[in-house]
Structure 1
Amino acid sequence: MLNNHPSQLDTIPTSTNQFHLKAIVYVLVIIFGLGTWTNLGGLWVELPIIVPILPESWQLPAKLILIINAANIFPIIFVFASIIFKLNTSIFEIPVNYIILLTSTALAIAFACLWNKTEYLFGTNQSIYLMYLCFFSAVGDCLSSTTFIPFLHRYEPFYLNAYFTGEALTALLPALLGIIQGIGKSECTMLDSKINGTFIQVYRPPRFSVRTYFLILSSLPIAAFLAFSGLYRMKTGRMEKKISIKKSKHHQSRVFILMDNNIEDMHAIQNTIKTINKIENQLENNKKKNQWTTIITSETVIYLFVTFQQSMMIYGICPGLTTFSLNAYSATTFHYTIIANSFACPLMTLVGTFIPEVSSKTIGAFLITHIGLFVYIVLTAKMSPCPPLVSTILGPAII
Structure 2
Amino acid sequence: MSLLTHLLACLFGMGSWVSINGLWVELPLIVPKIPEGWYLPSYLSVLIQMANIGPLFVTLMHHFRPGALNEVAVIYVIIALGTVASFLLGFFWKETVVVAGAPRSVSLLVLTFFLAAVDCTSSITFLPFMMRLKPQYLTTYYIGEGVSGLLPAIVALIQGVGVVHCINSTQSLNQTLNQTLNNSSSALTFELSAQYQPANFSAEVFFFFLSAMMLVCLVAFLLLNYHPTVAREHPNGRYTNGVKEKSKKNRKWVEQKPMMEPYRPTNQRRKSSFGTGAYSWMQVSYIFVILAWVNALTNVVLPSVQSYSCMPYGNNAYHLSATMSAVSNPLACFIALFFPIRSLLFMGALTVIGSGIGAYIMGMAVLSPCPLLVNDSSGDVIIVLAWIIFILTLSYVKVIIGVILRDEGHSALVWCGAVVQLGSLLGAVTMFPLVSVYNYFSSGDPCNTKCP
TM-score (norm 2): 0.61
Residue correspondence of structure 1 range 16-27 to structure 2 within 5 A: 22-27=2-7
Residue in 2 aligned with 1:205?
198
Confirm whether residue 44 of structure 1 aligns to residue 24 of structure 2. yes
Tell me the secondary structure at the aligned position of residue 83 of structure 1.
helix
Q: Conserved in 1, the CA contact under 8 Å of 2:61 and 2:68? A: no
Deviation at 1:243, TM superposition (A): 0.9
Q: Deviations over 1:57-85 (max 9, x none)?
A: 55544442343233234212212124324
Match of residue 142, structure 1, among 120, 132, 135: 120
Residue type at the aligned position of 2:144: G
Residue type at the aligned position of 2:48: I
Q: Conserved in 2, the CA contact under 8 Å of 1:187 and 1:202? A: yes
Q: Deviations over 1:290-333 (max 9, x none)?
A: xxxx94543x4323222222222222322332343344444444
Residues 332 and 62 (structure 1 numbering): CA distance in 2 closer, same or farther, change over 3 Å? Answer: farther
Residue correspondence of structure 1 range 19-168 to structure 2 within 5 A: 22-50=2-30, 60-89=40-69, 92-117=70-95, 127-168=105-146
Residue in 1 aligned with 2:217?
224
Q: Deviations over 1:337-379 (max 9, x none)?
A: 3222211210110111122006555444433332333333333
Residue type at the aligned position of 1:38: V
Residue type at the aligned position of 2:306: T
Rounded to whole Å, the distance in 1 between the matches of 2:118 and 2:25 is 19
Deviates more, 1:346-355 or 1:328-337: 328-337
Residue type at the aligned position of 2:293: Q
Residues 206 and 347 (structure 1 numbering): CA distance in 2 closer, same or farther, change over 3 Å? Answer: same
Q: Conserved in 1, the CA contact under 8 Å of 2:90 and 2:208? A: yes
Residue in 1 aligned with 2:261?
none
Q: Deviations over 1:2-51 (max 9, x none)?
A: xxxxxxxxxxxxxxxxx8xx443443333233322111121233345445
Residue type at the aligned position of 1:139: A
Q: Deviations over 1:242-273 (max 9, x none)?
A: 41565699xxxxxxxxxxxxxxxxxxxxxxxx
Tell me the secondary structure at the aligned position of residue 236 of structure 1.
helix
Q: Conserved in 2, the CA contact under 8 Å of 1:55 and 1:127? A: yes
Residues 114 and 94 (structure 1 numbering): CA distance in 2 closer, same or farther, change over 3 Å? Answer: same
Residue correspondence of structure 1 range 163-182 to structure 2 within 5 A: 163-182=141-160
Match of residue 318, structure 2, among 307, 330, 334: 334
Rounded to whole Å, the distance in 1 between the matches of 2:304 and 2:194 is 31
Rounded to whole Å, the distance in 2 between the matches of 1:121 and 1:210 is 25
Q: Conserved in 2, the CA contact under 8 Å of 1:62 and 1:321? A: no
Q: Conserved in 2, the CA contact under 8 Å of 1:44 and 1:338? A: no
Residue in 1 aligned with 2:208?
215
Rounded to whole Å, the distance in 2 between the matches of 1:95 and 1:332 is 44
Match of residue 247, structure 2, among 243, 246, 252: 243
Structure 2, unpaired ranges of 5+: 170-189, 238-245, 255-271, 274-278, 384-452
Rounded to whole Å, the distance in 1 between the matches of 2:68 and 2:194 is 63
Provide the aligned C-alpha RMSD in A: 3.9
Residue type at the aligned position of 1:166: G
Identical columns (%): 30
Structure 1, unpaired ranges of 5+: 1-18, 191-197, 250-286, 289-293
Residues 143 and 51 (structure 1 numbering): CA distance in 2 closer, same or farther, change over 3 Å? Answer: same
Rounded to whole Å, the distance in 1 between the matches of 2:207 and 2:61 is 35
Q: Conserved in 2, the CA contact under 8 Å of 1:111 and 1:211? A: yes
Residues 379 and 306 (structure 1 numbering): CA distance in 2 closer, same or farther, change over 3 Å? Answer: same
Q: Conserved in 1, the CA contact under 8 Å of 2:305 and 2:362? A: yes
Residue type at the aligned position of 1:142: C
Rounded to whole Å, the distance in 1 between the matches of 2:373 and 2:104 is 34
Residue type at the aligned position of 1:46: E
Residue in 2 aligned with 1:324?
308
Residue in 1 aligned with 2:439?
none
Tell me the secondary structure at the aligned position of residue 88 of structure 1.
coil
Tell me the secondary structure at the aligned position of residue 167 of structure 1.
helix
Residue type at the aligned position of 1:356: P
Deviation at 1:108, TM superposition (A): 1.9
